[in-house]
With several copies, the nearest count.
Chain A
Amino acid sequence: MKLGFVFREIGQSLSRNVSMIVSIVLVTFLSLTFVGTAGLLQAQIGQMKTYWYDRAQVAVYLCTDTSPSDACPQGEASADVKATVDAALKAATLQPFVEKFYFEDHQAAYDKFQEQFKGNAVAKYVTPQQLNETFWVKVKDPEKSAVIVESFTGVAGVEEVRDQRSYLDQIFSILNAASIAAVGIAAIMLASAVLLISTTIRLSAFSRRREIGIMRLVGASNFYIQLPFILEGVVAATIGSLLASGAVVAIVQFFVQGYLATRLPLTSFVGLDDALLLTPLLLVAGIGLAALASGVAIRRYLKI
């Protein structure tokens, strides 16, 4: 087996089909970039889920003097109400669901509000008394937070019980949709990449069928005949995969970390480590698909 000969044959074939190879490279590049982007979005969702679900809490808002009168006919919640809620949260019925909870009084709520809306015109209109006193309940299993919500909804002195997770689910569903769109585009483009690779190889084999025929007749082995064609597709796909990996890393480095992360410093974003985890997957996917596509395409030219 003389490798020099094989490489010369591949080189010749590549240079003959150069525009074909360039389009394989481009299509592989684009499709794998989309695959990578979809992967990044999924990683981002996963990261946000663990981060936020971890912090997800149920808020039991107690009545204030300014609460709407239909929910809070007696005005400001009394100390009794607070004791009742506190007791209920510590009772055996809810114990399995509650991890921990704490009480936030008017002043604490005001401080938090001022912090959150710092610089905003609204901040100056608000007084501590207007803000609800709140029991923040951290549940053990976010999926079962409904139990807490049901337990305190409609209880006298409680204005509203809100599961914070419902906010997050909305964000996640948007991110999910984006990820699905990226996967969809990636799927169409992967399909065209596979078609393209197998067609290139098939056409390459077709345009060299005399050569293949002669190789067979002078006694070249199948492996020897097959190799240049498969390598041809693999080389092109590898270049495309490398470009796609570069693009994914660049997206994370410059867009996510360089732009998004500085704009939204409180959100945790996917980092370079996630991107670097994706790149070998992209390489394997690109090369594997190319090898498969070319292998199948060349098969029917190999009957002796």
Chain B
Amino acid sequence: MISISNVTKHHKGATRPAVDGVSFEIERGDFVFLVGASGSGKSTLLRLMLREEIASKGDIFVLGQNLVTVPSRKVPVLRRKMGVVFQDFRLLPNKTVFQNVAFSLEVIGKSSAFISEAVPEVLALVGLGEKAERYPNELSGGEQQRVALARAIVNKPDLLLADEPTGNLDPATSADIVALLEKINQAGTTIVMATHDVGIVDRLKRRVIELRQGVIVRDDKKSGYETALPNTDQIEMPAASEEQK
């Protein structure tokens, strides 16, 4: 499903690569957590898998294509088989919740009959059935996050990339969402999820890939959030760390 080998991403103007010589494989049907400190490269890795960014070095095979070399015109077809939840939601402010979800089906040419059936179903699934006609700025942060999740899963993707999908949710709602993700995963969708939520990672006991400054420092099956490695990220935050002492 996903095969990443020796991938490095160096942003222009950045002092060090955001992702630095990373290699791993993910099987069809896996549920993988990406963890690591703020700025460790989780979002960058997910964007590379979506070909929103292109790797500086290495190969990224997703759904049978090498994203580093695939021509632009083949990308849309590839993306139709992926779902994605962004850290910043990326909802359309001038469309209602329903339209936001429907939009992603319309642009890939789904019939309106399909849309009018699938969208209410998925909104009910994430607990937003009653807010279908609301606009994003009329929703709480957690509600917006659930709309983004609904949009990502409405087309039953083969691969779901989720960037902190519970970052703005209270523990109870988070638990509901994770249960939903588990169900989607059981139905066959591969899930890669970046998260800071200790509780969820520890409870689910799935594969955990931990990044530190763009390097994989841990890749354990059935693991938890915490690690025994010393926290070298502190060198990045001298001032704040001093304040703490």
Residues of B within 8 A of A213 (CB): 90
Residues of A within 8 A of B52 (CB): 217
Interface residues of chain A: helix, strand, loop or mixed (majority): helix
- Whether the Cβ atoms of A220 and B90 lie closer than 8 Å is no
- Whether the Cβ atoms of A214 and B103 lie closer than 8 Å is yes
Question: What distance in Å separates the Cβ of A75 from its nearest Cβ neighbour in chain B?
Answer: 92
- Mask of B41-85 contacts with A, CB within 8 angstroms, 1/0: 000000000111000000000000000000011011111101010
Q: Which of B105-113, B177-185, B194-202, B234-242 contacts A (4 or more CB under 8 A)?
A: B105-113
| Chain A, range 177-226, C-beta contacts under 8 Å to B | 210-211, 213-222, 224-225
B125 located at the interface, meaning its Cβ lies under 8 Å from any Cβ of chain A in the complex: no
Question: What distance in Å separates the Cβ of B108 from its nearest Cβ neighbour in chain A?
Answer: 5
Residues of B within 8 A of A221 (CB): 73, 76
Residues of B within 8 A of A144 (CB): none
Report which of B72, B79, B111 forms a contact with A219, defined as CB distance below 8 A.
B79
User: Number of B residues whose C-beta is below 8 Å from A?
Assistant: 26
Residues of A within 8 A of B51 (CB): 304
* Residue from the set A2, A5, A217 with the largest chain B CB neighbour count within 10 Å: A217
- Whether the Cβ atoms of B92 and A220 lie closer than 8 Å is no
Residues of B within 8 A of A92 (CB): none
CA distance A200 to B12 in the complex (A): 31
A277 located at the interface, meaning its Cβ lies under 8 Å from any Cβ of chain B in the complex: no
A1 located at the interface, meaning its Cβ lies under 8 Å from any Cβ of chain B in the complex: yes
Residues of B within 8 A of A4 (CB): 112
Closest to A214 in B: B90
Question: What distance in Å separates the Cβ of B44 from its nearest Cβ neighbour in chain A?
Answer: 16
Residues of A within 8 A of B72 (CB): 303-304
Residues of B within 8 A of A5 (CB): 106-107
Closest to B82 in A: A219
Residues of A within 8 A of B96 (CB): none
Report which of B104, B111, B112 forms a contact with A218, defined as CB distance below 8 A.
B104
Question: What distance in Å separates the Cβ of A174 from its nearest Cβ neighbour in chain B?
Answer: 54
Residues of B within 8 A of A1 (CB): 109
- Whether the Cβ atoms of A2 and B104 lie closer than 8 Å is no
Residues of A within 8 A of B90 (CB): 210, 213-214, 217
Residues of B within 8 A of A304 (CB): 51, 72, 75-76
- Whether the Cβ atoms of B108 and A220 lie closer than 8 Å is yes
Question: What distance in Å separates the Cβ of A12 from its nearest Cβ neighbour in chain B?
Answer: 8
With A219-B80, A222-B73 as contacts: A2 and B109 at CB distance below 8 Å:
yes
User: Number of A residues whose C-beta is below 8 Å from B?
Assistant: 20
Residues of A within 8 A of B76 (CB): 216, 219-222, 304
Question: What distance in Å separates the Cβ of A281 from its nearest Cβ neighbour in chain B?
Answer: 35
Residues of A within 8 A of B112 (CB): 2, 4
With A210-B92, A213-B90, A304-B51 as contacts: A220 and B73 at CB distance below 8 Å:
no
CA distance A225 to B92 in the complex (A): 15
- Whether the Cβ atoms of B80 and A218 lie closer than 8 Å is yes
Question: What distance in Å separates the Cβ of A204 from its nearest Cβ neighbour in chain B?
Answer: 13
Closest to B70 in A: A304
Question: What distance in Å separates the Cβ of B186 from its nearest Cβ neighbour in chain A?
Answer: 24
Residues of A within 8 A of B73 (CB): 221-222
Question: What distance in Å separates the Cβ of A83 from its nearest Cβ neighbour in chain B?
Answer: 87
- Whether the Cβ atoms of A214 and B92 lie closer than 8 Å is yes
- Mask of A208-252 contacts with B, CB within 8 angstroms, 1/0: 001101111111111011000000000000000000000000000
Residues of A within 8 A of B109 (CB): 1-2
* Residue from the set B50, B93, B104, B106 with the largest chain A CB neighbour count within 10 Å: B106
CA distance A211 to B104 in the complex (A): 10
- Whether the Cβ atoms of A2 and B106 lie closer than 8 Å is yes
Closest to A5 in B: B106
- Whether the Cβ atoms of B107 and A215 lie closer than 8 Å is yes
- Whether the Cβ atoms of A224 and B92 lie closer than 8 Å is no
- Whether the Cβ atoms of A218 and B79 lie closer than 8 Å is yes
* Residue from the set A1, A4, A211, A222 with the largest chain B CB neighbour count within 10 Å: A211
- Whether the Cβ atoms of B84 and A219 lie closer than 8 Å is no
CA distance A215 to B95 in the complex (A): 13
- Mask of B92-124 contacts with A, CB within 8 angstroms, 1/0: 110000000001101111011000000000000
- Whether the Cβ atoms of A219 and B106 lie closer than 8 Å is no
Closest to B154 in A: A218
Question: What distance in Å separates the Cβ of A65 from its nearest Cβ neighbour in chain B?
Answer: 91
With A2-B109, A222-B73 as contacts: A217 and B50 at CB distance below 8 Å:
yes
Can you give 8 A-B contacts (C-beta < 8 A)? A210-B90, A213-B90, A218-B80, A219-B78, A219-B79, A219-B108, A220-B76, A304-B75
Interface of A with B (CB < 8 Å)? Answer: 1-2, 4-5, 210-211, 213-222, 224-225, 303-304
Known: A215-B107, A218-B79, A221-B73. 13 other contacts (CB 8 A): A5-B107, A210-B92, A213-B90, A214-B104, A217-B52, A218-B80, A218-B103, A218-B104, A218-B108, A219-B77, A219-B82, A219-B107, A220-B108
